[in-house]
Amino acid sequence: MDKQKEEILDYFGKCVIEEVYDAALYSAGRTVDYTTKNKIDLKHYSEFKTLSDKQREKVHELLKETTVDIIYRFLEMIEEHDEEFKIIVEKDNVTYSLTDISEKMGSEMAAVDDEEGWIKKFSKI
């Protein structure tokens, strides 16, 4: 893949990870840890304050796996319906389709820690 296409795909991935993955996990994590300042969440999820450390850890793991799964499935849906949904990027007067640039959109996330992917590259969580 040429450098221009790689930069476009990485920029999209960085946005997905920082603005969706990390943001969702940060918010949900504060609720699970019962450190949120959101009064509605504090009331609605008051049971979380009684979780053991082990239970809290497992909820965090589930949230992470679920968030990855949701983003993965969304990206795969876009790819499967490429004729109907297109994510087009224009850079330097050249138009690129993200699904054409990527070998497999969902796999760009690479949720496994030892794999190279958007999560490992861009996540701060």
CB 53 within 8 A of CB 60: no
How far apart CA 50 and CA 98 sit, in angstroms, is 45
pLDDT digits (tens, 9 = 90+) for 69-92: 999 999 999 999 988 988 898 888
Per-residue pLDDT of the chain (125 residues), as tens digits, is 688 888 999 999 999 999 999 999 999 999 999 999 999 999 999 999 999 999 999 999 999 999 999 999 999 999 999 889 888 988 888 899 998 888 888 888 876 565 778 998 999 98
pTM of the model: 0.85
Domain boundaries, the chain: 3-122
SS3 content of the chain, % helix, strand, coil (to 5): 65, 5, 30
**Residue 21 burial (CB < 10 Å; 0-12/13-18/19+)?**
buried
Number of H helices, E strands in the chain: 6, 2
